[in-house]
Structure 1
Amino acid sequence: MGTMWHVRFARPPHANLTAIGAAIVARLGNIVAEMSQWEAASYLSRFNRAPAGSWFALPPDFAHVVAAGLRIAAATDGAFDPAIGRLTDLWGFGPVSRSTPPDEATLRAARAASGWRRLEFDPGARRLRQPGGLALDLSGIAKGHAVDAIADLLAAKGLGHCLVEIGGELAGRGVRPDGQPWWVDVEQPPGSTLPPLRIALHGLAVATSGDYRRGAHTLDPRTGRSTANGVVSVTVIHASAMDADAWATAVTVLGGDAGIAAAEVAGIAACVVVMIDGEARELLSPAFAAMLAD
């Protein structure tokens, strides 16, 4: 996924760290083999090359992420869209870098070939139909799923007290050995004078989307262009790192007021940092504000 992972857990006596590490690496390897757009042999890459009208059988992880992606796409009216691979490729955000932006005709063609509404998903049979020329891009949700998957893996091995982090997305289960929750600090945008935000991850996950990060980018699936709505960063807290990951992207695309409104309707805990007249300001959804009050 082009990033780092870290795991901390309360170590029980006689825990085999070598075996645990190997299990984590294997689990992550399977997820990458399914959903990486950088791996030509991945399930995702094979689907993107599949002929029009063909049904593609999905393994459980892939089907789980696709189902969630389509659910959040519907809830956000496409602000989050797992089917914009053609667009991300055009802008050089995929496996192949580009030095020049696409022309209007090329962009229109890519938009016409993209979009979650073109997908037909059969959840019972775990299969997805390639409508022709459509490319999936799960980079805005698969990382969060991987965080959940590793936390679940550790729980299955009796390691229920853990903190899992992949590329800045985190999930905390149980408590630390000293009985405290897993406290994490949310990264603030450079130059921000906002007070620091510290979150207790006790059965919760947090994801932050920020275009101030080096190499960060957020495309608006509805226009095929980068967002320019004044949003500096979005932090979402959710029981699922996968949902937090996708919702952070969606709220970033929607913008400050619209993003908070969508989060309120869906009961999502979101904190949006926007720049207004050169000053960073926070907008909180009711669910996020309630967490601070607690």
Structure 2
Amino acid sequence: MRIALPPALSAQAIAGRDATLPVVTLDGETMGTTWRILFARAASVDVAALRGAVDVRLAGLVAEMSHWDGTSLLTRFNRAPAGTWMTLPPDFAHVMAAALRIAAASDGAFDPAVGRLVDLWGFGPPGPAPTPDRAAIAGATALSGWRRLSFDPASRRLRQPGGLALDLSGIAKGHAVDALAQLLRDAGIGHALVEIGGELVGFGVRPDGDPWWVDLEVPPGMHLPPLRVALHGLAVATSGNYRRGCHNLDPRTGYPTEAAIVSVSVLHDNAMEADAWATALTVSGPAAGIVMADRLGIAARIVCDAGGEVQEHLSAALTAMLAD
């Protein structure tokens, strides 16, 4: 069993644990998938009120950034006339700023403005579609692209250049995980694990003193030595062509990726960036993806199918986390 550990387990977090506290589980559905929270419950925590707060928080994020909800703020932006400036609420603005920063750093391998292409290929709300022809792909690509967006972080204003469609499915779920983790902290909970659709963040430790242990996903039908991660102040996200809702389009070409990558898992200090970088590395391909991860210090595992042979590539940052 390979073990990946964070740079340091917080002595304060370990000292602050209470071995007598029960671990409570809450779960539900959101964003077309499931959510789950495990936390060490102190007597002061009202579980019913916490559950209600989680539901409200998730509903608010869906109302802002869902591309499946025809009434969401995102879909209203997508329908807005050219030249329209829209003031975004704080969550949306936070995600948008991160999305544009990661788009630039990844040279467009991650792109929040790929909605037209996603729909054209049949991966979006309109549903399955026939394989588009070159002219249709060229037309959708011309309307897409993060460089067409103008965003003022200070005023939280985003400009619709005309015909552009946002799709934040590669980053919004990660932000939702982070948002729930912060909600728990604000409620006085110091030890918890939060998961939405396989993307996780953990903080503190279990009442018995162990970290929140999570095994990196192994794609179905593949055999890899297990890699277990201590999610203490860490998040993990996985992008893979076997996962529900995964659409690995290369925004730079307008076509699905042809690389042999089956899955990419990224460890980061927040789930939002882990989510987006997992997508960016998947689109980049195994060789360019591992080079990008090493250049940027990203802890990543890339799993490939090379002619029926399973290959695993670990970035330098992830290798450095492995326990001796």
TM-score where L is the length of structure 2: 0.89
Q: Are positions 1:89 and 2:119 aligned together?
A: yes
Pick one of 120, 137, 143 that aligns with 1:107: 137
Q: Are positions 1:28 and 2:58 aligned together?
A: yes
2:275 paired residue number: 245
Q: Are positions 1:209 and 2:236 aligned together?
A: no
Q: Are positions 1:60 and 2:90 aligned together?
A: yes
Amino acid at match of 1:157: A
Distance in 2 of aligned mates of 1:133 and 1:217? 21
1:69 paired residue number: 99
Amino acid at match of 1:11: R
Amino acid at match of 2:265: T
Alpha carbon RMSD of aligned pairs, Å? 1.1
Q: Are positions 1:116 and 2:146 aligned together?
A: yes
Distance in 2 of aligned mates of 1:217 and 1:38? 15
Distance in 2 of aligned mates of 1:277 and 1:291? 30
- Is the CA contact (8 Å cut-off) linking 2:45 and 2:187 kept in structure 1? no
State the aligned residue count: 294
Distance in 2 of aligned mates of 1:207 and 1:34? 22
1:155 paired residue number: 185
Distance in 2 of aligned mates of 1:265 and 1:75? 11
2:128 paired residue number: 98
Q: Are positions 1:271 and 2:301 aligned together?
A: yes
SS of residue in 2 equivalent to 1:232? strand
Q: Are positions 1:233 and 2:266 aligned together?
A: no
- Is the CA contact (8 Å cut-off) linking 2:120 and 2:129 kept in structure 1? no
Q: Are positions 1:140 and 2:173 aligned together?
A: no
Q: Are positions 1:218 and 2:248 aligned together?
A: yes
1:42 paired residue number: 72
2:20 paired residue number: none
Unaligned runs of 5+ in 2: 1-30
Shift of 1:191: 2.3
2:290 paired residue number: 260
**Percent of aligned positions that are identical:** 66
Amino acid at match of 2:221: G
Shift of 1:177: 1.1
Distance in 2 of aligned mates of 1:215 and 1:260? 24
Shift of 1:293: 4.1
Amino acid at match of 2:222: S
SS of residue in 1 equivalent to 2:322? helix
Amino acid at match of 2:205: V
Amino acid at match of 2:248: T
TM-score where L is the length of structure 1: 0.98
SS of residue in 2 equivalent to 1:67? helix
Distance in 2 of aligned mates of 1:293 and 1:250? 27
Shift of 1:214: 5.0
2:21 paired residue number: none
Unaligned runs of 5+ in 1: none
Distance in 2 of aligned mates of 1:143 and 1:88? 17
Shift of 1:32: 0.3
SS of residue in 2 equivalent to 1:4? strand
Q: Are positions 1:284 and 2:314 aligned together?
A: yes
CA displacement, residues 184-214 of structure 1 (integer Å, 9 cap, x when unaligned): 1112112222101111000000001111235
Shift of 1:217: 2.4
Shift of 1:171: 0.2
Shift of 1:15: 2.0
Structure 1 residue ranges (4+ consecutive) displaced by more than 6 angstroms after TM superposition:
none
SS of residue in 2 equivalent to 1:81? coil
Distance in 2 of aligned mates of 1:12 and 1:239? 25
1:129 paired residue number: 159
